[in-house]
Structure 1
Amino acid sequence: MAVTVKEISGAELEQLISGGRLLVDFYSKTCGPCKMLSFVLKDVAKDIEGVEIVMLDYDANKEAVEKYGVEGYPTMIVFDKGQELTRVKGLQQKPKIIQMINGG
């Protein structure tokens, strides 16, 4: 079964973060690389299981941005049961994102 990519708020992030594996994409609606990354994430979601993929608007969720020390966009962070596993900035390709999700 494929994973879906959905947009959430900072409050929703706090509810999801303590669950299982979670990839959070901090993005901006005005950012070109962020828009391209959203297409890559939708492609990743077709081929992976066991993770939730969510997008968080950088500009609309300043509290979450500050809490997790996000300094720019796009930034992706993979969490597992509330613990940060890995973080990467900038546009990434599908193999790198799958590697991140799988703990590499």
Structure 2
Amino acid sequence: MAVTVREINGAELEEIIEKGKVLVDFYSKTCGPCKMLSFVLKDVAKGIDATEIVMLDYDVNKEAVEKYGVGGYPTMIYFEDGQEVERMKGLQQKPAILRMIKA
């Protein structure tokens, strides 16, 4: 099984995180580590099926960035049923991300 990594906007975020397990990647299109992380997330997505992975452009979705206290990018926040479970900042490797979403 696999999931698809897709981009969303701030308006979609609330609806998406309310249901189930969701990993949100706050990124910037001008950020080198963010670009590398997107490849890692696509690799992670190939081996999971119970967690949705979405990306939110930090520069365009300021309201969501402020609401969740995201101070920089890349920042990943893992939600279960609307509640923040864990947060990671910076470029992370696949094993660390898998630990976060399966913890």
TM-score (norm. length: structure 1) = 0.98
Structure 2 match to 1:30: 30
Query: Identity of counterpart residues, as a percentage?
Result: 76
TM-score (norm. length: structure 2) = 0.99
Query: Structure 1, unaligned stretches of length 5 or more?
Result: none
- Deviating above 3 A after TM superposition, structure 1's stretches of 4 or more consecutive aligned residues are none
- Cα deviation, 1:40-91, whole Å, max 9, x if unaligned, reads 0000000112000000000000000000000000000000000100001000
- Equivalent position amino acid for 2:47 in 1: D
What SS does the corresponding residue of 2:14 show, helix, strand or coil?
Answer: helix
Aligned length: 103
1: CA distance between counterparts of 2:48 and 2:100? 12
CA root-mean-square deviation: 0.5
Structure 2 match to 1:42: 42
Structure 2 match to 1:86: 86
2: CA distance between counterparts of 1:95 and 1:3? 17
Structure 2 match to 1:68: 68
2: CA distance between counterparts of 1:32 and 1:64? 22
Structure 2 match to 1:59: 59
1: CA distance between counterparts of 2:42 and 2:72? 21
Query: Structure 2, unaligned stretches of length 5 or more?
Result: none
**How far apart are 1:98 and its partner, in Å?**
0.5
